[in-house]
Structure 1
Amino acid sequence: MANIFHVYHRVLRWLMKVAGVRQELVQIQPGTTMNFWVPTRNPKKNPNPPVVLLHGFAGNGIMTWQFQVMNLARNYAVYVPDFLFFGESVTDRAERSPEFQAECVVKGLRRLGVERPCVLVGFSYGAMVGFRLAEMYPDLVAAMVVTSAPTVLTESLSREALQEIGYKSWSDYLIPNTVKGVKSLFEIGSFDFPALPNWIMEQYVKVF
């Protein structure tokens, strides 16, 4: 039986092409490649600021932002990166920090010809990367839209949040490897998440 997420991703590529974005792998540096979804039309002819959509932990860029892309791409040059270790973005470097992710996103945008200040839209982990990006490259940020993230995740706030959701570490919660873990991730992180059969959750674990 084909994995439903592999099948849907093929359909999603077609939908994104219709919406006006395409996939492009960008070499950030030797050993580091970042996957971006980028405009199919010449972005320099668009008078509006570019929009950069930064995803959270539970998936890749285009799975997270597919519906927003289909609406925003009509009027904006939209860029959707997969963070390193997500989707098709890879590196042989040991860095794992939001600062390193932000640095690679900016290098990728520069290589794609993005020079104007952008609107950053960050969800969860993507918002944390966005905050670091705005601190490190203020000239590249015109505005930010943030959801589901604190401006700073302190030790005390982290401990309180983990206690509230019943986990000992963020990796246990954010990187599930069981059906139960995936259900917990989406039920805690979503409002009124629909009940899905276990076989869908099993296929999600295999893909993500």
Structure 2
Amino acid sequence: MTRCFSLTEAKNWFHRTFFTKSGLRSTTTDLQDGTVMHCWVPKKPKDSKPNLLLIHGLGANAMWQWGDTLRYMIPYFNVYIPDLVFFGDSYTTRPDRSESFQAQCVMRVLEANSVKKFSLVGLSYGGFVGYSLAAQFSEAVERVVICCSGICMEEKDLKEGVFKVSDLEEAAGILVPQTPEKLKELLGFSLFKPPPLGLVPSCLLADFINVMCTEYTEEKKELIRAIPKDRKISNIPKITQVKKVYIFFFNALASDYFFGFLVIVLIAEFVSGIWETMRT
């Protein structure tokens, strides 16, 4: 039977084509411990450009979360965009679901690509991974930007009603949607001013779920459960050697403006660093 046209598959193809034409290539790295990591890396990294790591959050894959903002970064940075474990083409047979493990996997991919120094941007769940990366490998991480990540949350915050969803299993069901209704709920939580979701055809949402949300569903829920587990502010590792740490919360509908501003901030930081080096 002929497969029906998928708008999600078409957009996935568009993102892949755009990444390739932007000077990136798709790579797969076997970490030799049951873990395989997919990452977009520069075809020809330039020594004159600083390295920038973009870490996605919970969602489809790295292409979907960074596709609309990649154009802001490519002219100024050697950009590295991994799929975290259980997203895109990355997976593991190991049982560890912590953001610390995710950070170690990302670092090993960067090392495999001879990246010794870099700055990073972590979005949502990627912010937790990025913070852990900076804490574990502070000698390699120069600057950190964390977007919309509650890195200072504690396990008790869920029970005390700090968040709109107080039950972890309910949150996991929304963040890993398996029905159009749950996907609408996720969009309602994710967007500051969501569009009229009732007008979005369920067939389009079902198509997205079928293409993007049916693999590693239980593993992704385990990642979510691991975030607040035994989490206390006093136990969160300190970042000591990183030059700059930025934490942002912003309107998701204004992401283009935000990332344009972010590029300006990062470039200004690098230019000032070069200037200080020249002065000394």
Report what 2:154 is aligned to. 154
Q: Secondary structure at the match of 2:28?
A: strand
Q: Is the 8 A contact 1:178 1:205 kept in 2?
A: yes
The one-letter code matched in structure 2 to 1:40 is K
| CA separation of 1:180 and 1:111: change in aligned 2, threshold 3 A | same
The one-letter code matched in structure 1 to 2:112 is R
Q: Distance in 1 between matches of 2:209 and 2:167?
A: 19
Report what 1:135 is aligned to. 135
Q: Is the 8 A contact 2:159 2:167 kept in 1?
A: no
TM-score, scaled to structure 2: 0.69
Report what 1:71 is aligned to. 72
Q: Deviations over 1:58-86 (max 9, x none)?
A: 22111101122122112210001101111
| CA separation of 1:160 and 1:122: change in aligned 2, threshold 3 A | farther
Q: Deviations over 1:76-131 (max 9, x none)?
A: 10001101111110111111110100000000110011112x11101110000111
TM-score, scaled to structure 1: 0.91
| CA separation of 1:102 and 1:163: change in aligned 2, threshold 3 A | closer
Pick aligned residue for 1:6 from 5, 9, 18: 9
Q: Distance in 1 between matches of 2:150 and 2:26?
A: 30
Residue ranges of structure 2 left out of the alignment (5+ in a row): 213-280
Report what 1:16 is aligned to. 19
Structure 1 residue 163: deviation in Å? 5.3
Report what 1:91 is aligned to. 92
Residues 1-208 of structure 1 mapped to structure 2, 5 A cutoff = 1-41=4-44, 43=45, 45-116=46-117, 118-160=118-160, 164-165=164-165, 167-169=167-169, 170-194=171-195, 195=197, 196-208=200-212
Count of residue pairs brought into register by the alignment: 205
Q: Is the 8 A contact 1:46 1:76 kept in 2?
A: no
The one-letter code matched in structure 2 to 1:191 is F
Could you say which structure has the larger radius of gyration?
2
RMSD of Structure 2 on Structure 1 (CA):
1.7
Q: Deviations over 1:156-175 (max 9, x none)?
A: 22334575246553312211
Q: Is the 8 A contact 1:13 1:22 kept in 2?
A: no
After superposing the two structures, state which structure 1 stretch, 125-134 or 68-77, moved more: 68-77
| CA separation of 1:144 and 1:163: change in aligned 2, threshold 3 A | closer
Quick one: percent identity of the two aligned structures?
A: 29
